[in-house]
Structure 1
């Protein structure tokens, strides 16, 4: 492999999803018609089903593989000092596994991204959080000949970019509609690495070009006087090249974006007066966000400390199960909106401290036009009210663990693969 190899993989995905046979089983009219029959990899532009509206899958756009030295020490072996040596190396480069903005590997979507990169490259890479800084810096090596050696640990650093595949309706050339996998928001970059290898290399050794060993040999400064001078056995003072500032893996931490507020204020029916809030341009239509074909809908909390739960609609619901779409925009057939609750006057959100947490509970707070309060809505073909919902800031899909009265509505980085992330947007 060349020292740095870049591969473009746009439009390909390596994550398996379950495809449901619905119409073939005569269950098209049934909301529970999600029967898994086959496992295929979702493809950009490929067909998806209504049960997958609440899911997303990564696909790898491109990758770069770079042999990297993580630990190194110059070591001189004299006549009579051959044999086993224990060498304590110094850290050269720190590589930390990360996906997206969180500086780690949180949630199933991040793991799936690394699994997709692993499959695309055919390399055994780390698919969970790890860092080369936690590796031992000691190398035990048997030196059979005297000479100037570079004792090293190294790996193949793998970086790249990924995109997100979401299920959404698409109009065909003949005017009909179909559900297709489309590139949604939520892409980014990733870093991982292969298993560390260790060894020792001399200036005169012939090594494969672009290999980890060649990288180590390059740190020896073989033409320098230090490499040729007679000296006692043991550590060699680092040369100028070896003293270069170690590469550190930057870690972007997930922080809440600043609130964006408009210059005017507008009241909506049912506002609870919990402080000044941003003006919202809400549609007049009121909706229930319901489990298809079943009586439970999203119900906003009465207490601020509680979260959005599945609730039955009754005459005592006090509009807590009624929602409006506000500040609505649409791009490539995907709606972006703030979800405003008529009953308590709050906006649906994922709390900032929980933004990177899988299964964090959906809540309502004072409306602030924060991206944590913005949601993408993926729709079934016209004539169906089924939707999938995704938080704009976290990229996670909205769903629930089980169908039960009082069950929390939560975020899931990859969505719920059993169809429980598909809801219906029912006009009231």
Structure 2
């Protein structure tokens, strides 16, 4: 049974309300405790949020005596919302999806957790108009935006000079955009609607003070007024040169002028704890870093130098130079935004794709987690096997397989 426009307006309801999402009280928080298995993981936390009713599709529609009843109205796109986390709108399972889930929970809304755009939604609205009048036919949503931080596990010195593992803020802050399920409806100037609702937002676009709302008109579409055009333009983001306003692109990390690396004395293995396989650099340039056993034939391909090392609040940052092939570990620029991209080696240079943050266990333990500085992703492997690639995972490997041993050789 069709619901009338006036009934919806009176109740303050829309066709597809978003249900509240539960709040996760067990999520990692800054200063909370973590374990050695968490060294290779990464989690978002929400720093700020804003919810704004937004009209995505709209059409002025005039209903005269004798033309009431069911109509299917094709609306025009008012504004476009694209789901994004940071500069990435290709949302896959992992850190980005977890960010959006926590954002929705923080405001009590079910939001889109995957790649999506309101422009891909149908713009057709079927509605039962039971009274004549000037209507705004709309689709709209609650746009949720805000900022997030990145939490990583690392050792922190306590007031009594002991050490403990805690969640700290790591690199990877940014902003996000998502939205709730689109709602649709029709509203008249004289309808009483809840303040701050999507319907109220649509009513402002109706331009109720204009002559279009008052004069006798033939039934059907009403051309947008100047105010509607201005409001529509104001909601559209201004495009930048060479880039779609709705499709932000991730810039490629640019290598700065190459210079010699300053490496710490001694080399290291980056090994799976308690097992014989460790990171081994490729012999062929097109191959990737793989888990390999150490043998007399390894030719130092399983030995790594820590170079251009810096330390900030107990967190190390370094380039990982391989002894055997002379290259530095890197995520290839063309794969920077790809989940599970394989780690490779390339000629060493000043490039954030070749810089890694190293999170450490308490003193006395050699366990570490490794994060690429540019992509923010953690290093790990799909399964324990000879020849398995070391890959990047935006949220790390939650089963602990992204935790390694850094041991001197």
Would you call these one fold, judging by a TM-score over 0.5?
A: yes
Match of 2:159 in 1: 173
1:311, 1:255 → 2: CA distance?
33
Note the 1:383-422 alignment, pairs <5 A. 383-422=364-403
Q: Corresponding residue for 1:26?
A: none
Q: Distance in 1 between matches of 2:132 and 2:47?
A: 47
Shift of 1:104: 2.8
Aligned residue number for residue 343 of structure 1: 324
Shift of 1:15: 6.1
What's the CA shift string for 1:249-300, capped at 9, x where partnerless?
5432123222112xxxxxxxxxxxxxxx532111122111111121111100
What is the aligned partner in structure 2 of residue 318 from structure 1?
Answer: 299
Q: Distance in 1 between matches of 2:169 and 2:85?
A: 18
Could you tell me which residue of structure 2 aligns to residue 55 of structure 1?
Answer: 41
Correspondence for 1:365: 346
Q: Which residue of 1 aligns with 2:203?
A: 217
Question: Could you report, residue by residue, the CA deviation over 1:279-324 in whole angstroms, capped at 9, with x for unpaired residues?
Answer: 2111122111111121111100000010001111111111111111
3-state SS, counterpart of residue 223 of structure 2: coil
1:255 and 1:352 in contact (8 A); partners too = no
1:238, distance to aligned residue in structure 2 (A): 0.5
Inter-partner Cα distance in structure 2 for 1:350 and 1:152: 45
Pair 1:247 & 2:228 matched:
no
Among 311, 314, 319, the residue aligned to 1:330: 311
Q: Please say if 1:205 is aligned against 2:201.
A: no
Partner SS, residue 242 of structure 1? helix
Check conservation: 2:111, 2:181, Cα contact below 8 A: yes
Gaps of 5+ in 1: 2-12, 17-39, 262-276
1:14 positional shift: 6.3
Residue 261 of structure 2 contacts residue 308 of structure 2 at CA under 8 Å; is this kept in 1?
yes
The Cα offsets for residues 33-79 of structure 1, whole Å up to 9 and x where unpaired, read as xxxxxxx4222111111111000111111110000000000111111
**Structure 2 gaps, min length 5:** 1-11, 13-21, 238-244
TM-superposed deviation, 1:356: 1.1
The residue number in structure 2 matching 1:257 is 253
Deviations 1:380-415 (A, max 9, x none): 011111100000011100011111111111111111
Q: What SS is found at the alignment partner of 2:227?
A: coil
Paired residue for 1:126, among 112, 116, 120?
A: 112
User: What is the TM-score when the length of structure 1 is the normalising length?
Assistant: 0.86
Moved over 2 A (4+): 13-16, 248-252
Matched residue of 1:243: which SS? helix
Q: CA separation in 1, counterparts of 2:112 and 2:206?
A: 29
* 1:280-299 paired onto structure 2 within 5 Å: 280-299=261-280
CA RMSD, aligned part only? 1.6
Q: Distance in 1 between matches of 2:128 and 2:377?
A: 51
**Corresponding residue of 1:68:** 54
- CA, structure 1 residues 183+14, in 2 after alignment: closer, same or farther (shift >3 Å)? farther
**Structure 1 residues 414 and 14, CA, compared in 2 at 3 Å: closer, same or farther?**
farther
Contact 2:89 2:115 in 1 (8 A): no
Paired with 1:58 and 1:14, the residues of 2 have a C-alpha distance of 14
Contact 1:107–1:357, Cα closer than 8 Å, also in 2: no
User: Which range moved further: 304-313 or 99-108?
Assistant: 99-108
